[in-house]
Structure 1
Amino acid sequence: MKNERQTAQQALPLQGVRVIDYSHFLAGPYVGRCLAALGADVIKVERPGSGDAGRQHAWQIGEDGAYSGYFLQLNMGKRGLSVDVKDPRGQQLLQRLAASADVFIENYRPGALDRLGLGYDALSQINPGLIYCSISAYGHTGPDSHRAGFGLIAEAKSGIMQMVGTPGEAPPLLRISLGDMYTGIHAVAAINAALLGRERSGRGQHIDMALYDTLVSMHEYAVQCYHLSGGTELPQQTGHDMPNSTLYGVFRAKDADLVIAAQVDDAWKRFAGLLEAHGGPAGFGSDTRLHSSAGRNANREWILSVVKPWVAQRDVAEVLALLDGIGVPCAKVQRIDEVMADPQIQARGMIVEQEHPVLGKLRFPNLPFRFSDCDTRIDRVAPDLGADNADIARELGYSDEDITAMVREGVLFSSTPAQE
């Protein structure tokens, strides 16, 4: 990564783009973090007092748990503004900010910001070029648009949750916020496309992203199977492997678990030959019944009865060495501490380090953007609540007297008011 910084010559792609991040928790803040990494000036707008609810989310660190690792990770690279938009002066300030902005991000329930004069209709009158991105559980249209929801709700509704887990048991929680993150990165793509479109049309537009929509769009297999089968093929929980992709799944070795992907014909032939050469049944590698996907799927149970004990008799390292040696995709099921120590993750710079003025060195997952001629790492730590109130207000034409009055009367709020 050091060499990337030394050789970077181009400006970041979104340099000069101003973004208002009026969002909370995960999907919206993630979009803002991505746009900041791409060079945008992202202004995190929060309510006075408690700010973004993500500030109270685990893991809490610092004196009396004053900082949230969750918030720090999702809001790095941004400037901070805390303003009371229920006060007419605060609403006016934010509208003036919107007039200067290129992008507005929000993830409140549809209609919530309309009531504050901060919906798309109101702000697009002020700034016709504004790209306004809304993220919600169900979107701004349809019979469920009024309903509250989180990623968990979309995961359940989308059919994804029903497909995972052990047959006969309730499906497990996915343990990562798939709906929020996947919707977030789709929003990043849509915003960039809208910015490009604005270059031609001169007009902004409203982007309406729904967690439910995004997860339904992820079905690369189940929806087509259902329709092409005339509605007879429904996904079933299969536990540790995929019946329609033999051999593809999770296996338990002596000391840990690993995954094997030998579902492609050529990989299967190499895999089966290896097993036969290392204690598997005679003829296993040359059994032509198993040389096609259909044949392997038809004989799945027998194949598993051979492969499972073969793996179980060996350490993970031995299995991986054998399979890597013949080019069959495989990997250990790693714990998070193993991920952090993985040389591949280190080589790719996927853990970003920041120096926080209070907390010292912080380490977070990096974004996966890689450009040949610019560096997207973020040095700026997530802002304290209202940390940049005065600078932002001055940029909008407010005098020091105006700012002092708004601070005194609670229109502008900072967790470090001495900095105003």
Structure 2
Amino acid sequence: MKAIVRLSLRVEKVRRLKSVKMVRLASGIADSLPLSGVRVLDMSRVLAAPYCTQLLGDMGAEIIKIEHPKTGDETRSWGPPFTEKGKESAYFLSCNRNKKSLALDIKSEAGKKVIYDLSKQCDIWVDNFMPGSLDKLNLGYEDISNDNINPDIIYCSITAFGNEGPYVHYGGYDVIVQAIGGLMDITGEADGSPCKTGVALIDVITGLYAHGAILAALRSRDNARAAQVQVRAQQEQNNNNNNKQLRQRNGMKIDINLLDCEIASLVNIASNYLIGKTVSKRYGTAHASIVPYQIFPTKNQNQYLCVAATNDASFATLCEIMDLQDTLLTQHKFQTNQLRVQHREELLRILTQCFQQRTLAEWLDRFSHFNIPHGPIQNVQQILDSEHVQSRDFQLVQSVEHSSAGKVSLLTNPVQYTPKGHTQRLPINQIRLPPPVLGEHSLEVLERVLGYDTRHIQKLIQDGVVVQPNILIFFFFCNNSSNHFRNLCLFKKFKSLCHSKKKKRGAWTPSFVEYIFFPDFEIKYKLKTKKKKSTTSKKEICLSRKIHKKYEPQNTGEIKKQKA
């Protein structure tokens, strides 16, 4: 076991050589971003908190994601859909870009020690555990922010219902909070059942709130540190050596929960009750205070047009487009928005009948000549493939090379930063790191961030405190392009065998396979092969789970195989 661990550590170190250029490029991009130099300890899972840390990572922060050593983030198993190669969950991929994964058992004493050491090196802590769960593990705010660990840390805790009240110990996902918090009651058709939103909207909103709160806390901490520097300089100038008062706890505890974020996001719906004691009801796509403001069916089956006439001038323009000036504008009951709301049913019946007389394409052509908000109902495929999204320089979709899934397409950050005096935007939307395989960066974090030596890391791996993924790497030592080409072809064939659907049940599959080419070496190694019983001269690659301590140098071989 020790030999395997030592070999796997060497393999991990060499594996990084392949991505040196990519890492330098990513580091160079991160250096130009707003949160360059900020490190985040991400103790979260599912969506709300991971979405928050993903936004911080987009802005240049280094995100170290702590995952359960066996199962990882729950969303890794949420599917389908999964990628064809590697079987990575599309859900997990959607909210974990620009992160590094450390598979760690935080319940063990050694695992807690790793968390303490990481906390000393991090600026921000983000978690979404149940209230009190981390306190029981001695990983609560008071434990992490004490003077022996990191009194300056910004500790953000995201829960479902907060730390007070009768719901405090309730577990809650987005759909539960939507039901309890009032959003589901106002979502859906007027004569239908309550509905949840199509996306986990409260999780996303909470992640955005947390992201903004963390940025404000960073700003506050920087201001406090600047003030301390000024005080220290003044004391030195006055020859005052009493610096005991200089050291202050500049950290901050941030508590945020899904229910409060949902209630705050009800905006005008909540205000309707607070001001007018009006309890809103479901209107489908319509608006409680504006008419017309909804979708209308067209002559085409299952094709709709959404129209928003938010003022009297827009309504007059709508009547002109639909040739309804004489029918609607001459009637007093449709002259103002307040009157139109009172006569909602009659007005909508007239508009619906008119919209059904033409196709969607015909209506879009007529509306294109007027300045009134409108748009067709489109699905996800239509909008992502639309000319508007595809034709811009700013790309919301990027393709990245994933460690196990290969090439995957992911959404990027929609924010655009352009510094004063520059024409080029900051690369906020560039994906520097693809979503990680479980434990993909375990060794890197322990070695580079914490400075653990090899013996210490070996001990953590042997005890099951830290887990790294199965790695299978081909080393190609050759000094000419023809050998390199032949080796690359063999590697591609082997990689396809690893992911073949015809593998025997229980066959070992590496988490990811990599090809590393060293053109400057002439050392030759023989690949372990197995001849078939038939007379064919082809060789079959044999997957062996054993780590061979010795490799016999050969003049004709060009490959050395290692597995961790």
Scaled to the shorter chain, the TM-score interval is over 0.9
Cα distance, 1:59 vs structure 2: 3.3
Q: Structure 2 counterpart of 1:29, which letter? A: P
Matches within 5 A, 1:238-387: 238-255=283-300, 256-276=303-323, 280=324, 282-287=326-331, 289-346=333-390, 347=392, 348-372=394-418, 373-376=425-428, 377-387=430-440
Evaluate the alpha carbon distance shift between residue 220 and residue 303 of structure 1 in structure 2; reply closer, same or farther with a 3 A threshold.
same
1:412 pairs with 2:466:
yes
| Distance in 1 (alpha carbons) for counterparts of 2:407 and 2:357 | 43
Residue in structure 2 matched with residue 47 of structure 1 by the alignment = 68
RMSD (Å) for aligned C-alpha atoms: 2.1
**TM-score, normalised via structure 1 length:** 0.92
Cα distance, 1:331 vs structure 2: 0.8
Residue in structure 2 matched with residue 59 of structure 1 by the alignment = 80
Deviations 1:37-81 (A, max 9, x none): 000000011111111111101234346863111112211111111
Residue in structure 1 matched with residue 187 of structure 2 by the alignment = 164
Residue in structure 1 matched with residue 501 of structure 2 by the alignment = none
Instruction: Give the match's secondary structure for 2:467.
Output: coil
Q: Structure 2 counterpart of 1:143, which letter? A: P
Evaluate the alpha carbon distance shift between residue 9 and residue 91 of structure 1 in structure 2; reply closer, same or farther with a 3 A threshold.
closer
Matches within 5 A, 1:5-404: 11-62=32-83, 66-125=87-146, 126-202=149-225, 203-229=250-276, 231=277, 233-255=278-300, 256-276=303-323, 280=324, 282-287=326-331, 289-346=333-390, 347=392, 348-372=394-418, 373-376=425-428, 377-394=430-447, 395-404=449-458
Evaluate the alpha carbon distance shift between residue 325 and residue 285 of structure 1 in structure 2; reply closer, same or farther with a 3 A threshold.
farther
Instruction: Give the match's secondary structure for 2:457.
Output: helix
Evaluate the alpha carbon distance shift between residue 351 and residue 200 of structure 1 in structure 2; reply closer, same or farther with a 3 A threshold.
same
Q: Structure 1 counterpart of 2:255, which letter? A: D
- Does structure 1 retain, via aligned residues, the 8 Å contact 2:308–2:372? yes
| Distance in 2 (alpha carbons) for counterparts of 1:287 and 1:63 | 61
State how many pairs are aligned.
Answer: 409
Deviations 1:127-177 (A, max 9, x none): 111111111111122221111101111111221111121234321221210
| Distance in 2 (alpha carbons) for counterparts of 1:303 and 1:415 | 63
In structure 2, runs of 5+ residues without a counterpart are 1-25, 226-249, 419-424, 473-562
- Does structure 1 retain, via aligned residues, the 8 Å contact 2:404–2:437? no
Deviations 1:332-390 (A, max 9, x none): 11011101111222224122221224323211222221111311121311111111111
Q: Structure 1 counterpart of 2:126, which letter? A: I
Instruction: Give the match's secondary structure for 1:353.
Output: strand
- Does structure 2 retain, via aligned residues, the 8 Å contact 1:243–1:300? no
* Greater alpha carbon shift after TM alignment, 346-355 vs 398-407: 346-355
* Greater alpha carbon shift after TM alignment, 303-312 vs 55-64: 55-64
| Distance in 2 (alpha carbons) for counterparts of 1:112 and 1:380 | 31
- Does structure 2 retain, via aligned residues, the 8 Å contact 1:12–1:39? yes
- Does structure 1 retain, via aligned residues, the 8 Å contact 2:47–2:204? yes
| Distance in 1 (alpha carbons) for counterparts of 2:288 and 2:466 | 59
Residue in structure 1 matched with residue 500 of structure 2 by the alignment = none
In structure 1, runs of 5+ residues without a counterpart are none
Q: Structure 2 counterpart of 1:241, which letter? A: A
* Greater alpha carbon shift after TM alignment, 304-313 vs 410-419: 410-419
Q: Structure 2 counterpart of 1:388, which letter? A: H
| Distance in 1 (alpha carbons) for counterparts of 2:470 and 2:223 | 43
Identity across matched positions, percent: 29
Cα distance, 1:261 vs structure 2: 0.3
* Greater alpha carbon shift after TM alignment, 301-310 vs 209-218: 301-310
Evaluate the alpha carbon distance shift between residue 288 and residue 350 of structure 1 in structure 2; reply closer, same or farther with a 3 A threshold.
farther
* Greater alpha carbon shift after TM alignment, 98-107 vs 334-343: 334-343
- Does structure 1 retain, via aligned residues, the 8 Å contact 2:83–2:90? no
Q: Structure 1 counterpart of 2:352, which letter? A: K
| Distance in 2 (alpha carbons) for counterparts of 1:286 and 1:274 | 16
- Does structure 2 retain, via aligned residues, the 8 Å contact 1:22–1:46? yes
Which of the pair has more CA radius of gyration? Answer: 2
Evaluate the alpha carbon distance shift between residue 409 and residue 161 of structure 1 in structure 2; reply closer, same or farther with a 3 A threshold.
same
- Does structure 2 retain, via aligned residues, the 8 Å contact 1:54–1:68? yes
| Distance in 1 (alpha carbons) for counterparts of 2:87 and 2:466 | 20
| Distance in 1 (alpha carbons) for counterparts of 2:254 and 2:280 | 32
